A and B are shown apart, each in its own frame.
Chain A
């Protein structure tokens, strides 16, 4: 069973990599492989879902606990979120050439980590865990799209690789769309923090304890609120907005993946 699980994951990763390469080739050679790309992403997602399901069935709990599980489930959710956006907003499909290679970092990370089994602490056996993580995954998905758009804006403002992103709408439109994804991220970040607080109150008798993950999550939320108010108060240019968007993405990325990496379990000490 362990072999099947790994096999399906490797196949999924391989297909994601082919999808990423296809996205880059599409932009570099101005080819139209959009349907192929969508099919590749969906095929990868199906194989990845099978891998996660086998593991879930074998261990009796979802992929929430150790680094391997967190990486795998986040690759899955980011790919799913992007696939939906790719399908629903055709005008920004060229962004796939930025997003998919970006997710490759997680592929490289997961293949370096042993696929160890994890033990789910008793306090993790609650519906609030699913709610908390579900909102968190939407939050990260929205931030990923916003930061990819911000990268494209910065490339174009710096006049780097302009020809590869010429099919995308103007920077003003991309900036507006990135802003809307930031708003979505703020709402789901707030919901994630609220669900996490309810879970923490039930499990450990405190809704907020300033542990490393909580504190850094609050930093991400604060930065999102700062960006939105800054935009309303000063109407900064595309570059400043893009830099701030990318900054909040990196802080959230480090919170999601960095803190569990240094503390072995998501909420250290709160088990």
Chain B
């Protein structure tokens, strides 16, 4: 039994684990869709090898910096594993004045991520951003935090972190169209987010009228869209282009357009701002264990190098 354990703890198995990690990297370089799966075999081999090595290798246990290094490495690997099980990467787009309630989309998430945003309460207030050569540059966004009743200034260098969810400014900003719909099922008021603003990009999308099966195409028509520079603000002159059943209509702010199923009123424009959202409770612990691993390795190597002169042989 002890021979088996010694073999599992041996440096040969470490080399096999490192080799398997390298194979995983080859898959990642080939644009493999799930990098976590690609590195998992090597990771598991190294995790077992490391855990057993700490238990059976006296050389590790008898040297404090070396033991501390291996323990830190083990903690780091376990943290990475649990972090991958619970992490989330997604995005959200919020109108000015909108309260955050859920994500707009999720890119990846671990199988054990708790889908609970009840602890993440904030309201998007105003934001300022500069457009240069058609793309977003320096941006500042003010967030209202209802629990502390304070405001938080979010910028390119300062993300917002609430309940381990980190909100970072994405490159996306845009306009939302405010519409009201008076149909057979009553009155509804809401906003529709247009695609992210980009110079020379048509700001249009399709949308199904509430309570109907009627699909309409809407486009924001604004004269200055192709030459916008400076602050990203609401345009001074704009109208909504509405198209359905091969008919095309133009509506100015405050105007309505009636169809057989009800009346649509264009109530104006808002701006929206996008955030990349990342959840990982393990980040502070990952930093601490990384630092302790590197420092203890440094101390061990320093001790080892000090024991003999490189030119003594």
Contact = CB atoms under 8 A, between A and B. Distances in A.
A180 B139 CA distance: 46
B297 to A, nearest CB: 6
A123 B280 CA distance: 21
B313 A205 contact: no
A230 B17 CA distance: 12
A230 B286 CA distance: 27
Contact of A123 (B12, B157, B277): B157
Contacts of B287: 194, 198
Interface stretch (A7-15, A23-31, A167-175): A167-175
A268 interface: no
Nearest to A190: B294
Contact of B22 (A184, A198, A206, A219): A219
Contact of B25 (A125, A176, A218, A230): A218
Given A172-B313, A173-B311, A187-B294, A229 B156 contact: no
B178 interface: no
B298 interface: yes
Contacts, number: 97
A150 B305 CA distance: 19
Contact of B157 (A126, A177, A191, A205): A126
Contact of A205 (B21, B168, B311): B168
B294 A232 contact: no
Interface in B131-149: 137-139
Given A172-B313, A173-B311, A204 B22 contact: no
A169 B138 CA distance: 56
A38 B281 CA distance: 51
B156 A205 contact: no
A163 interface: no
Given A123-B157, A177-B310, A229-B11, A205 B276 contact: yes
Interface string B85-110: 00001000000000000000000000
A233 B15 contact: yes
B186 to A, nearest CB: 40
B108 to A, nearest CB: 10
B290 interface: yes
Contacts of A176: 310-311, 313
B25 A215 contact: yes
A202 B25 contact: no
28 contacts: A126-B157, A170-B313, A176-B310, A176-B311, A180-B310, A183-B305, A186-B297, A190-B293, A191-B294, A194-B290, A198-B287, A201-B166, A202-B159, A202-B168, A203-B156, A204-B168, A205-B159, A205-B276, A207-B280, A207-B283, A215-B25, A218-B25, A219-B22, A225-B18, A226-B15, A229-B14, A232-B11, A233-B15
Given A122-B155, A198-B287, 9 more contacts: A187-B298, A187-B301, A202-B159, A203-B168, A204-B276, A205-B278, A207-B280, A215-B28, A229-B18
Please give me the 3 A-B residue pairs with the lowest Cβ-Cβ distance, nearest first: A205-B168, A122-B156, A233-B11
